[in-house]
Chain A
Amino acid sequence: MRVELQHVYKAFRQNDQTVPVLQDISLTVEQGEFVCLLGPTGCGKSTVVNLIAGLEKADTGQVLVNGQPVTGPGPRRVVVFQDAALFPWLTVMGNVEFGLRMAGVSKSQRHTAAMAYIKLVHLSKFAHAYPHQLSGGMRQRVAIARGLVMQPDILLMDEPFGALDAQTRAILQQELMGIWQKTGCSILFVTHNVREATGLADRVYVISSRPGRIKNVEAIRVPRPRDAAHAALAGHQQRIIASLGEEIEKVMKDELGEAIHFAPTDRPGGADRSVDLHL
């Protein structure tokens, strides 16, 4: 199974203007690969996810899964959204078995399958809880289980940990690694955090904004589990920041309405902030 974008162009109508959002995007996710999309807010990362999910259509170019064009949404390509998007009227069990229910799987079968994935994300005790009773991190676990239970060709994760505190985020990153290694599924993971991308991915596509173009592809071959202090990771991070150097300024200028110049090395906000593109 292979997911591929070939020379994709996508524009949106905004205030009677056609604004190009993605320009000549080509990327691949091989079977079992963990790929990150990294770029500043508004560069079109979610649009890429929506194109692969079949929720949007490319204006030109191709979106292919196993060589077949994507024609619409379906359970072979599930999305984990930033705010989990659980169905509030269903329990954890109800949410996780939802896709199987839509597929007409019998009650006992889908119950067994859902329970296995609820266990996988360590929520057995909460199988009968409702989303409003769960923390943000737990909701994302449910969303991950809800996607994986469909045994999709690819799990699309759109800034899944973006709204979580640093500690929860670190725990979930680690667990996601374990789940990915256990299940062997392909993952496309969207983030605007350089450290998160280099910590997780086999390959990082760095996207620039307005319109979104692929600026750089970093193949990361550091063995897992990855040590955050590994020298090679710092090198990757520096190259990614350098490739986005002008980009960071561009975003700052757009958001603050004035020209700001700084080198990647002396950015304000300390070490952690220096790798977060969400300015």
Chain B
Amino acid sequence: MPRLIGPVVLIGLWTCTSSLIPSWPSPWRVGGLLAANLQDPVFQAALAGSARRMVVGYALVVVLGITLGLLLGRFRFLDQLMGSLAVATHAIPGAAWVPLAILWFGLTERAVIFTILLGAVGIVVVQTDTGIRDVPPILVRAARTMGAKGLKYFWFVVVPAAIPKMVDGLRLAWAFGWRALMAGELLTSVSGLGQLLNQVAKAGAVDQLLAIMLLIALIGIAVDGLIFKRLEHAVRVRWGLN
């Protein structure tokens, strides 16, 4: 119940302010527009396009991020060679990759996926690498006395011990990737939610603009809450970190 207080207050304030400012649409109007939009084939196609790019981009982030993180964690020379590159990548906001993406891939879907990848992969690499370096010493000792060595030690002890950090990285990567997707679509005008934002803003339709932004926020909250928070909680309980 207390979790509902925040949203209720927010909607209350929004309703009050919209009744005072004529150009500021009420939440009920914006919500209604969003519901109507969801029935519209053009809108549905844009939503599907965004979802597709996000899924492809995020899948690449997971596979490349974890692979690179494991390699960097396992081989010190790779970490020295590429560790700072991963940190640097992670320090660049997703939107800043868009110009380079357009130069290389043009105004295409690939440019958007490239933006998601570069905007989100760094944090997964860094977190996986950190997790691998921070295996609790007591577990290292226990594993060593039971004869764990080499690749088996890495695979059956180090990697599972790093999972909580990896999950933190994946959760952050989703948020970064979602932002990068919007930036990419806004600037490349590839059909999607970002590009719709551009269109309705040019038409001066504040209510439509807010309806799309509301959807972007809701998707962000829903995926984080329904997938990542639960995953993180389950992992923290299992790993005894609570």
Among B119-151, those with CB < 8 Å from A are 138-139, 141-149
Q: How far is the CB of A154 from chain B (nearest CB, A)?
A: 11
A-contact 0/1 string along B39-83, CB 8 Å cutoff: 000000000000000000000000000000000000000000000
Residues of B within 8 Å of A74, CB to CB, are: 145, 147
1/0 per position for B147-165, CB-CB distance to A under 8 A? 1110011001100110100
**Alpha-carbon distance A117/B238, docked complex (angstroms):** 23
Q: Which residues of B contact A160 (CB under 8 A)?
A: none
In the complex, A119 Cα to B230 Cα: how many Å?
A: 34
> B24: CB under 8 A from chain A?
no
List residues of chain B with CB within 8 A of the CB of A147. 146
- Tell whether A88 pairs with B238 under 8 Å between CB atoms, given A75-B147, A101-B156: yes
Q: A81-B138, A87-B139, A130-B238 are in contact. Are A75 and B160 (CB under 8 A)?
A: no
A83 contacts which of B138, B143, B147, B239 (Cβ < 8 Å)? Answer: B138
CB of B156 within 8 A of CB of A132, answer no
CB-based contact B157/A132 at 8 Å: no
Measured CB to CB, the closest approach of chain A to B140, in angstroms, equals: 9
Interface residues of A in 48-91 (CB under 8 A from B): 53-55, 73-75, 77-79, 81, 83, 85-90
Closest chain-A Cβ to B138's Cβ sits at a distance in Å of: 5
Chain B residues within an 8 Å CB radius of A150: 146-147
Size of the chain B interface, CB-CB below 8 angstroms: 22
Cα separation A131 to B147 with both chains bound (whole Å): 21
CB pair A89–B146 under 8 Å, yes or no, is: no
A103 within 8 Å of B by Cβ?
yes
A212 at the interface (CB under 8 A from B): no
Shortest Cβ distance from B235 into A: residue: A89
Q: In this assembly, does B204 line the interface, its C-beta being within 8 Å of a C-beta of chain A?
A: no
Q: Chain A 89-106 against B: per-residue CB contact (8 Å), 1 yes, 0 no? A: 110000000110111000
- CB-based contact B239/A89 at 8 Å: yes
User: Pick the contact of A132 from B142, B144, B237 — CB < 8 Å?
Assistant: B237
Q: Given the complex of chains A and B, what is the CA–CA distance between A15 and B227 in angstroms?
A: 47
Please determine whether B141 and A87 come into contact, CB atoms closer than 8 angstroms. Answer: no
Chain A contacts for B239, CB-based, 8 A: 88-89, 132
Asked if B146 contacts A132 (CB within 8 A), the reply is: no
Question: Which of B146, B149, B152, B237 touches A146 (beta carbons < 8 Å)?
Answer: B146
Q: Are A73 and B144 in contact (CB under 8 A)?
A: yes
User: With an 8 A cutoff between CB atoms, is B2 at the interface?
Assistant: no
Q: Which residues of A contact B139 (CB under 8 A)?
A: 85, 87
B146 — which chain A residues lie within 8 A by C-beta?
75, 78, 98-99, 102, 146-147, 150
Complex: A21 Cα to B238 Cα, angstroms = 37
A90 → B minimal CB distance (Å): 8
Footprint of A on B, CB under 8 Å? 138-139, 141-149, 152-153, 156-157, 160-161, 163, 237-240
15 A-B pairs within 8 Å (CB atoms) are namely A55-B144, A55-B145, A74-B147, A79-B141, A81-B141, A85-B139, A85-B141, A87-B157, A87-B160, A87-B161, A89-B239, A90-B160, A99-B147, A102-B148, A130-B238
Q: A73-B141, A98-B148 are in contact. List 16 more A-B contacts (CB 8 A).
A: A55-B141, A74-B145, A78-B145, A85-B138, A86-B142, A87-B161, A88-B240, A90-B160, A98-B143, A99-B146, A101-B152, A102-B152, A102-B153, A103-B147, A132-B237, A150-B146
